[in-house]
Amino acid sequence: MTRGRSIRSTPLRLTLILLAIFAVAAIGCLGVAYGVTRAHIDAAIEADLEQTLDDYRAIRDSDALMDRLAAAVSNTDPEVRILHFLPGHGDPISNVDDFPPVRGPTIVAKDAVAADDDDDLADSYLALGEQVGRGWLVVAQSREQVIEMGEIFVSVLLMGVLPALLIAGAAGAWIAHTARRRIDDIETTLRELTGGTLSARVGGIEGRADDLSGIGHSVNQMASAQEALISSMRQISADIAHDLKTPIQRVAVVLDRMRTRTVLSDGQEPLLDRALDETDRIVRTFQALLQLAQIEGGAVRDRFRPTDLADVARDVVDLLGLDAEEQGFDLTIAAPTDRSATIMGDRQLLSQLITNLIQNALTHVPGGGPVTIVITAAPGDVTLTVSDRGPGIPPEERDKVLRRLYRLEQSRTTEGNGLGLSLVSAIANLHRATLTLDDNAPGLTVRVRFPNPRHA
């Protein structure tokens, strides 16, 4: 996956684009240089051929021309130059057996020339033909210089440009990998911040002034401000809960003394019991708020130990099983017994998470029914699911029920303070677990996926 992301990364794509531009520019420049040089050589050969034809045209005497051509043919190597004269009558004078008829400047390949020994011919010729005397004279010059020059340019390409491309590509890949790694650090920090780890910071940016370091500094500044703000809000929430918890408990004590030490008139005792129940509910709410603040602060992470989630779930089911049965629920559990569901966590908090999920089902599912707890261990994670057959939670409400004190409209008449799933979410985040609420068709399935330390 990391390799795939590196291939798709912007730094590597930019590197490949720059390499492509460099390759096109280098090959284009070599191509233009080759074309100009070849044209210059061909022009020089053509000028030499025209001069040769002019020299032969200047000979007015036919016998002298024939003698001159015969002498030249006998002394001219066809691999370098070909002379092919077709007189008006008689045999041709030539240092090859046959040569194709040409007029203007023409490039003739070796295959078009007939000679006793083809190995003595050049690969191609630049030929020029004109009327000389009473015959037609074709003069062809070997283009070996052009061919050699092309080979030189290919060698320059292979030995100069390609190694440069390879070196630049390796350097670009290393730079892209370094940039991708730094971008991954920033993305990891952002994911941790999103997941609630407000202490996460981008490292390795001290003393650097590049753009990625600037982004890292901005992320760290944002994280520091967010951490300070959340810490302040949590502290205020904890202080309010702590300060109000004690006087409310005192009110509860006063109400209890009133009930036990005074004579109540008709109708007062039910009202007093109701007041005691409400104060007890308020105390539990504040206690839950204090616990939320402690969990979200992350201080309890120091208590994490290898914990068998299946063993914790079985203990909770044993504890709540009788009460669930009395309410008409069938509480069942399916979990491994080989300790493969061991995770890093706090046993007390994990027990509370499972308890809250089960009690949520017992509270909000009218008429009883099956409540199933399943724990599965996979190579990458350990998953806890709690499923019921109740009314479920509408998809648009599933994010909202994880907020503090939020309650669904149909749940307002049931017992609770709207903090049960908030505590579950906070405990899951503390354990770096993923919490999802799904439809059980009908009912609700709560799935908590914990990272497996064996494959971390």
pLDDT digits (tens, 9 = 90+) for 43-53: 898 899 999 98
pTM comes to: 0.47
Res. 156 pLDDT band, cuts 50 70 90? confident
Say yes or no: do domains 211-297 and 303-455 share a fold: no
Query: Residue 8: what pLDDT?
Result: 60
What letter represents residue 106's amino acid? T
Q: Bridge partners of 138?
A: 84, 129
The predicted pLDDT at position 83 comes to 92
pLDDT per position as a tens digit, 390-432? 888 888 887 777 776 665 544 444 555 567 788 888 888 888 8
Average pLDDT of span 57-76: 88
Can you give the pLDDT at residue 456? 46
Distance CA 429, CA 288 (A): 16
Average of per-residue pLDDT across 23-37: 85
Contact 448, 379 (CB under 8 A): no
Domain boundary assignment for the chain: 1-194, 211-297, 303-455
308: β partners: 342
- Other C-beta atoms closer than 10 Å to the C-beta of 422 total 22
Average pLDDT (46-62) is 89
Structure tokens at 384: 């806890």
**Whose structure tokens read 């684009």?**
17
Residue type, 216: G
Domain 303-455: CATH superfamily, name plus number? Histidine kinase-like ATPase, C-terminal domain (3.30.565.10)
Distance CA 221, CA 408 (A): 37
pLDDT at 383 > cutoff 90:
yes
CB < 8 Å & 24+ apart, contacts of 23-32? 23/161, 23/165, 26/157, 26/161, 26/164, 26/165, 27/157, 27/161, 30/153, 30/156, 30/157, 30/161
Write the DSSP symbol of residue 98: B
pLDDT for 2 equals 47
User: Per mean pLDDT, which range of 80-84, 134-138, 359-363, 402-406 is the poorest?
Assistant: 402-406
- Average confidence (pLDDT) over 24-44: 86
* Candidate ranges 116-130, 255-269, 366-380, 415-429; pick with highest mean pLDDT: 366-380
Is the confidence at residue 195, as pLDDT, over 80?
A: no
Task: Report the amino acid identity of residue 345.
Answer: G
Q: Look at the block and give the residue holding tokens 């991954």.
A: 184
* Residue whose pair of structure tokens reads 């005074």 in the numeric block: 262
- What is 211-297's CATH topology? Helix Hairpins (1.10.287)
Contact 195, 38 (CB under 8 A): no
| 53, 130 Cβ separation under 8 angstroms | yes
Res 410: pLDDT:
46
Mean predicted confidence (pLDDT) in 356-361: 89
Residue labelled with tokens 């998470």:
353
Report the mean per-residue pLDDT for the chain: 82
* More reliable by pLDDT, 329 or 173: 329
